[in-house]
Structure 1
Amino acid sequence: MTDRPVPGSPLAFRWTKWNGSPHWVHECVYLGADEWGDWVGQRAGARSSRPGRDVVAEGPNVTLIPPGGEYAATFNLSHPRVWIYIDVAWGVGWEAGEPVGIDMDLDVVKALDERGIFIDDRDEWDEHRVRYGYPAEVVARLEHVALDLEAQVTAGVAPFDDATAARWLAVLADIDSNGD
């Protein structure tokens, strides 16, 4: 593992699309690491922006950045409709001390309503894999990753259990209460 910021350090999680165009940038703080990977948090009021859209976090959330680089999993404490939102991705990792990744369109969602657990944005995936020319081996790998993540979220196994996210949400709250 390369050097990471000190817990509580502000950073930006920068996403691009496959062709290198800018996508989301999330204002975050570094929380630390565990056996699942690195964790960053977003405080209530933090901004997330992409070309044409700017949103403010209504409540805290934490994101797992696993070492495999194929997804980033966000756990939303106060989102009214979504508890877990996993961006299936490519090249998620660290660059110049901040997290980066390529958004690959597929998402695994654990909704709090009747939708339950599902893979989202298959239409965007189908469109973009042609438009951006995703290599066949990347398509096959990420389709497998999405199905595997959906099964893990459904089973509620760590790190997709409530206890793992609760631990990191508590770390974020502790950082906030200490004024970092």
Structure 2
Amino acid sequence: MGDRRPGQRVRCEITKWGDRPHWSYEGVWLGADEHGEWLGFPVGTLFARPGHRFVTAHGQVGLVPAAVDGTRPWWLATLHGEGAGTLPPLAGEPVALYVDMTTPARWDGTTLCAVDLDLDVVGDVHGRVVVDDEAEFAEHQVLLGYPAEVVAAARASCAQVLAAASAGDPPYDGTHRRWLAELARISASNEP
């Protein structure tokens, strides 16, 4: 956790393989629990990548998973509050969960860095969970030259996250609501 403290601004720099730019956004460090470190993205947070940008209309929290047996998992999760947007793999249903398969995240000061590996586990507010971007993952294995061990780690991570999220196992059991409340508290205390 280093010197991070609740309410501290953090930056997230998520690239694609080969150090290609992808998502860049800012948030606040909320705290940590047995699941890992929680980041908050309040209403109005700008998410930007080459060719696309959007501003959040609802609060959401991110989870940087804790290391398991000394190894950081190959994913980053975003869990949404009320009023979440919709995505095509969920046929217009509001998104509750979005887990990106990534290389193990690392901190560089207050900047979180990871490489997005295409595969996503996406869940709706009714508990339906699907895997998205499998075609992109297959294409990028060739186009971007993912090493075999990276492909295997992303697939294994995706299968583990899909099983846990489908079963509603922690941290996909509503644990994030505590952190959404913390985000609301910190956001309210920062208002003029």
Q: Is the 8 A contact 1:69 1:93 kept in 2?
A: no
Q: Is the 8 A contact 1:65 1:93 kept in 2?
A: no
Residue 79, structure 1, aligned to residue 92, structure 2: no
Q: Deviations over 1:156-178 (max 9, x none)?
A: 0111111x110110110111122
**Normalising by the residue count of structure 2, what TM-score does the alignment of the two structures yield?**
0.87
Structure 1, unaligned runs of 5 or more: none
Across the two proteins, how many residue pairs are aligned to each other? 177
Q: 1:112 aligns with which of 117, 122, 125?
A: 125
Q: CA deviation at 1:69?
A: 4.2
Q: Is the 8 A contact 2:42 2:58 kept in 1?
A: yes
Q: Secondary structure at the match of 2:145?
A: coil
The 5 Å alignment of 1:53-72 reads 53-67=52-66, 68-72=72-76
Q: Is the 8 A contact 2:128 2:166 kept in 1?
A: no
Q: Deviations over 1:5-40 (max 9, x none)?
A: 221111211100011011101221110111111110
* Range 82-91 or range 62-71, more displaced: 62-71
Q: For residues 130 and 8 of structure 1, what CA distance do their matches in structure 2 show?
A: 41
Q: For residues 139 and 178 of structure 1, what CA distance do their matches in structure 2 show?
A: 43
Q: Secondary structure at the match of 2:103?
A: strand
**Normalising by the residue count of structure 1, what TM-score does the alignment of the two structures yield?**
0.93
Percent identity, aligned pairs only? 37
Runs of 4 or more above 3 Å deviation:
none
Q: For residues 150 and 19 of structure 2, what CA distance do their matches in structure 1 show?
A: 16
Q: Secondary structure at the match of 1:91?
A: coil
- Name the Cα RMSD after superposition: 1.5
Residue 153, structure 1, aligned to residue 162, structure 2: no
Q: For residues 12 and 122 of structure 1, what CA distance do their matches in structure 2 show?
A: 28
Structure 2, unaligned runs of 5 or more: 67-71, 86-93
Q: For residues 172 and 125 of structure 2, what CA distance do their matches in structure 1 show?
A: 14
Q: For residues 22 and 58 of structure 2, what CA distance do their matches in structure 1 show?
A: 22
Q: Deviations over 1:97-124 (max 9, x none)?
A: 22111000000010236x9211100010
Residue 177, structure 1, aligned to residue 188, structure 2: yes
Q: CA deviation at 1:42?
A: 0.3
